[in-house]
Amino acid sequence: MRDEVARACADYGGSMCEDGGQADLVLATSDRLPDRLRVRGVPEDWQETGEEFLVARRDGVTVVAGGGPAGLLYGLFHVVRMGERAFGGDFPAQRHRPAMRRRMLDHWDNVAVHPVMGQVERGYAGGSLFWADGGPRGDLDRVRAYGRLLAAVGVNAVAVNNVNVHAAEARLLTDRLGDVADIADVLRPYGIKVHLSVTFAAPVVLGGLPTADPLDEDVRGWWARATERVYEAIPDFGGYLVKADSEGQPGPFAYGRSHADGADLLAGALAPYGGVVHWRAFVYDHRQDWRDRSTDRARAAFDHFAPLDGRFAENAILQVKHGPMDFQVREPVSPVIAAMPRTRLAVEVQVTQEYTGQQRHVCYLAPMWREVLGFEPSGGRPVSGVVAELAGVSNAGDDPYWTGHPLAQANLYAFGRLAWDPGLDPAGILDEWIDLTFPDVAGEVRAPLHAIMDDSWERYERYTAPLGVGWMVRPGHHYGPDVDGYEYTPWGTYHFADRDGVGVDRTRATGTGYTGQYPEPWSETYESPETCPDELLLFFHHVPYGHVLKSGKTVIQHIYDTHFAGAEEVAELLPVWEKLAGPVDPALHARVRDLLHEQLRSAREWRDQINTYFFRKSGVPDAHGRRIY
Ligand code: GCW
């Protein structure tokens, strides 16, 4: 904290004193605040976790009182965000506290370069900040800078390796633990705890036991001892993150045990030290038969986990992807969230843009996350009030701009800010980010950046898969269009387009019954094409191309219109960005310009493939006679 303030003084002027005498800014944890500076007008019990802070200005002195060291640091960064407003007129005490208890970034970083997925699975920002070529990357200064960046947006937990745990990564739990401890030491001053993805098969692959059965005594003993050693090395270790029985990862199903049994095994090992296990709900059959219309991947998480509500240990957190499928540009909110009132839940979002343009396209995701967090699954409580935590798959890497696409930094920023306060307005968050990122030219860049970014998520949706149907991406790398790429595969991701219509019937009446996983009013709302929101129509229903949307357009004309419009809008971004050649740094400007050209190329490819596909399937011409191939 002191270093942080000293650095600010060195960069921007001013000096530090220890007793608060003549200062215009006083920073102290509340127990060390001199009496005369006590912040009044707040209840005595305003501190709960140490992450809270108060800020007030009285008689020309701005006072930040932190509930603990982390709160103080968050308070300092808050003052930075406030800028001059923090030192204008007096203002009464404001109390700030995070809505989400854990604000966690999960890195899908591999220690050893994976032959297909590379150093970072679904990473679009260069290499890993932590690992390179089989060992630590060795640049702890960069890790420190990352910790500082994350503290500035309130992130307090980081999982340092991929949830797909391969051979080298498995050993982070045992003989490579020192590498994890080094990262923990560097992140600790920033209020960030380190978590580790572990393989459920660790007792077998690392411990040489014949089984990883969660009810086996030797297995329990193995985990207890392994965990004891972890805490010897890292006393404030956060806990384990587990992807089990999913896409080839081992899990409790192999032993005929439930996922509650599996999670509780690890929760039990962690409990004596105050650690937690994040257990992912991303469990589905990826060896489906496309001919079998009764299996529905969207149903899987609920079918597996809802019956287990109440069976998870106190320190087990079920981590649920925000939608039932897999981070598509548009999905309904996962029905698991409303179904498990007796289980601690974390919602997982994807900050890394796997399905939203891979950090080559501008896609500001705060509006999507805001919508997810504000959705009321039942009884008037928003998702943000139901879940205790927000987890995001990190989009940062060793790229000089952190995130590959410089504008994708705004997603990292927005993730932290929404986890702290899910009620924040995405445009307001973007303003904060603009002020902090382009402090000298914020006035000049503000309007153009809003034009480029505010609507970029829905713009991306316009030129990619329509009306909630999702996918239509190239299998494997997931970039660019391939309408039938997944159609006859075992992955369970289909659109069922034929000459008459498109979409997935997930109704109770005639489809897979998925709508029945929602409580009222959603089970009814989604059940009927009349009441289902347009943007999710093809997620829930198979309809004829002539089906008329609430917008008054037919489905086929909507597809044509949005695809022509989406690609056209991308073309219009280029001249907007060109105008910023003066105010923004030339290298940054050139990077974004190149990426915008790629986005335009890709958007046109999407437009033409989607339009051509549906024209050829349906035979219905575009009402406006535009060019379809
Ligand atoms: O979205 C899919 C990705 C996988 C990923 C998986 C998951 C880490 O394509 O790369 O694996 O989700 O969330 O586990």
Q: List the catalytic residue out of 52, 169, 354, 461.
A: 354
How many angstroms is it from 393 CA to the middle of ligand 1?
A: 10
- Asked if 535 is an active-site residue, the reply is no
What are the tens digits of pLDDT across the range 93-136?
999 999 999 999 999 999 999 999 999 999 999 999 999 999 99
161 contacts 107 by C-beta, under 8 angstroms: yes
Nearest atom (ligand 1) to Cα of 122:
10
Q: What is the pLDDT of residues 132-157, one digit of tens each?
A: 999 999 999 999 999 999 999 999 99
Atom 2 (ligand 1): residue with closest C-alpha? Answer: 326
The predicted structure's pLDDT at residue 13: 83
CA distance 388 to 400: 33
Asked if 111 contacts 168 with a C-beta cutoff of 8 angstroms, the reply is yes
Residue 164 CB–ligand 1 contact under 6 Å: yes
Can you tell me whether residue 8 is helix, strand or coil?
A: helix
- Tokens 């029985």 belong to residue: 245
Residue 33's pLDDT band, with cuts at 50, 70 and 90, is confident
Give me ligand 1 centre to Cα 117, in Å. 10
CA distance 566 to 178: 49
Atom number in ligand 1 closest to CA 108: 8
> At CA 267, angle to CA 261 and CA 272, rounded to 5?
140
What pLDDT score does 34 carry? 75
Tell me what the mean pLDDT of segment 386-396 comes to. 97
Cα 282 to averaged position of ligand 1 atoms, centre (Å): 9
How many CB atoms lie under 10 A from the CB of residue 24?
A: 11
* Catalytic residue check, 247: yes
pLDDT tier, 498 (very low <50, low <70, confident <90, very high otherwise) = very high
Instruction: State in Å: Cα 602 to ligand 1 middle.
Output: 23
The answer to whether residue 354 is catalytic is: yes
Q: Are 263 and 183 in contact (CB under 8 A)?
A: no
Question: For residues 148 and 188, what is the distance between their CA atoms, to the nearest angstrom?
Answer: 10
Residues contacting residue 274 through CB under 8 Å, at least 6 positions apart: 315
Closest to 169 (Cα-Cα) out of 243, 246, 224: 243
pLDDT at residue 393 is higher than 90: yes
Distance 164 CA to ligand 1 centre (A): 8
Burial of 461 (0-12, 13-18, 19+ CB in 10 A): buried
Token pair of 52, please? 């809270």
Q: Ligand 1 in contact with 163 (CB < 6 A)?
A: yes
| Residue entry with tokens 């004193």 | 17
Q: What tokens were used for 289?
A: 């038969």
CA 570 to CA 572: how far, in whole Å?
5
pLDDT tens digits for range 243-281? 999 999 999 999 999 999 999 999 999 999 999 999 999
pLDDT at 370 over 80: yes
Mean pLDDT of the chain: 96
Q: Which residues pair with 197 in a beta bridge?
A: 241
At 47, is the pLDDT very low, low, confident or very high (cuts 50, 70, 90)? confident
Residues of the chain by 3-state class (helix, strand, coil), percent to 5: 40, 15, 45
Any atom of ligand 1 within 6 Å of the Cβ of 541: no
Instruction: Provide the 8-state DSSP code for 44.
Output: T
Tokens of 517: 């996983």
Residue 538's Cβ-side half-sphere holds a number of Cα atoms within 13 Å equal to: 26
Catalytic residue among 52, 245, 264, 326: 326
CA distance 424 to 153: 13
